[in-house]
Amino acid sequence: MIISIPSAPMTTTSVDAKPAIRARWTQMLLEGLDVRLSDVELSCVRPRLEPARLAYIRRLDPLEWLDIETHIHVLDALYWGLGKPRYVAYYRETARRILHSRLLKTVAVAGARVFGRAALVRAFPRGWNLVIRDCGILEVARDDARGITEIVLREMPPVVARSEAIRLATASSIAAAIDIAGYLGKVKVDPGPVRDRTFVFRISLVVEPPTP
């Protein structure tokens, strides 16, 4: 049985739109460098980061919008400096820390605890809309009673669609929300090439979370 889950509305990318992310996400990625990376890892990442961009990121208020190109610059430095497995783990842990904030934890966790797995699934597009602007439409394409969910990110601007680092970061953010909500699950990225500026993520969840 297929259950239709409505997603939160979001404006599509327009010519005048400026794709952006809340600065806090990028700032927390940078704050973790000296604390959570080894000296060897740090030596592979730091040379890839432009000092002028770092200074700009740190000047912003956490809730201000940071242009997505600068965010991707940081993601690319981490992705190419750490390699895929370590990058995914680092981003997932950072996302878990961010999701512990009161607002996002309420969206991603409280509703899931009270209303179940369907509430968690609906929280993914809502969370995206809180922190990302004009980077495409994240929506639930399929959700069934077995706990299999397909989420798509479509109509992305080209700078986002061609970024493997942001594709993996999005999957890691979804995985972090699942962790915080107390569910057991896996998030798989469609391994195929990006078509029609669309990312596809397949999520398998245990139907009910473990007892707290």
User: Which CATH number does the domain housing residue 157 bear?
Assistant: 3.90.1520.10
Tens-place pLDDT, residues 161-187: 999 999 999 999 988 888 877 777 788
126 in Cβ contact with 118 (< 8 Å): no
Gap between the Cα atoms of 138 and 195, Å rounded: 15
**21 forms bridges with which residues in the sheet?**
66, 132
- pLDDT on residue 14: 40
Chain position carrying tokens 């596809």: 200
- pLDDT on residue 208: 56
DSSP letter at 4?
A: P
Residues of the chain with pLDDT under 50: 1-16
Gap between the Cα atoms of 163 and 166, Å rounded: 5
Is 34 within a domain? Answer: yes
User: How many domains does one find in the chain?
Assistant: 1
- pLDDT on residue 127: 83
Is 29 within a domain? Answer: yes
- pLDDT on residue 12: 38
- pLDDT on residue 106: 56
Is 1 within a domain? Answer: no
